Structure 1
Amino acid sequence: MKSIRNLLATAFLASITAILLVSCSNDDNNDGNTSTVIEFSALPENARTFLTTHFPGVESRMIKQNAIADDDGSIYDVYLTNGFEIDFDSNGNWTDVDGNTQAVPTAIVPEAITTYVTANYAGQTINTIEIERTGYDIELSNGLDLVFDSQGQFIRIDS
């Protein structure tokens, strides 16, 4: 009788272990989006031009091409040696520029946004800018998130 109980206990534990292993076998990123590391030359021309224009002489640390576009439409993720991360859509248009505590190039920020930030947040820099369907989302050096429409007019502080 004891051996049957041991056999049943062992079978039960083996079943539980198998279920746990199968349920944990998927990557935590369940969106199914796989990425491939690519060379600079494989980026669309628009993306290469953007990088050489706004980040001259800065090398890429890694460039990834995603199989499926992210929510913002980005396919390419470029990580530069100076700490910047830039995302591009399939046509090579930037969708997100993240300076990781560094100011983004002023030339990519719409003038209306620059004017608003200068007038209302003196001394702050724009460290992240993201193009969204309805406009722009920026993050200032103090961590404040601001939302603007597609013409660069202030809408709200994002919480």
Structure 2
Amino acid sequence: MVNWSLIRSNGGRDSSNKIRKSIVSFMTKHHPGSVIDSIERKYNAYKINLMNGLCLVFDEDGRYVKSN
């Protein structure tokens, strides 16, 4: 289970809630049942590593950018 409270943004609490909601919505729709291994904040992006080896990148607003 991911500790979503660790995800913060420069925009404050409301902004970080929006980012979490966006990422969770994407994960639910496109990767149901996937388990998140880790989340890293990289400058202006979020890198989410899944247990199956897939890496998803989201921008600073929580919008999906690409998979590695």
| Both proteins in one fold, TM over 0.5 | yes
Normalised TM-score (structure 2):
0.71
Residue 108 of structure 1, CA deviation = 4.0
What amino acid sits opposite 1:146 in the alignment?
L
Paired position in structure 1 for 2:2:
104
2:27 is paired with a residue whose SS is helix
Paired position in structure 2 for 1:130:
40
Residues 41-56 of structure 1 correspond to what in structure 2 (within 5 A)? Answer: none
Question: 1:55-81: per-residue Cα shift (whole Å, max 9, x none)?
Answer: xxxxxxxxxxxxxxxxxxxxxxxxxxx
Unaligned stretches of 5+ in structure 1? 1-102
What amino acid sits opposite 1:137 in the alignment?
K
Alpha-carbon distance between aligned partners in 1 of 2:65 and 2:32, rounded to the nearest angstrom: 19
Aligned identity (percent) is 32
Residue 131 of structure 1, CA deviation = 0.4
2:28 is paired with a residue whose SS is helix
Is the radius of gyration larger for structure 1 or structure 2? Answer: 1
Alpha-carbon distance between aligned partners in 1 of 2:66 and 2:49, rounded to the nearest angstrom: 12
Indicate how the Cα distance of structure 1 residues 114 and 107 shifts in structure 2: closer, same or farther if over 3 A, else same: farther
Unaligned stretches of 5+ in structure 2? 8-19
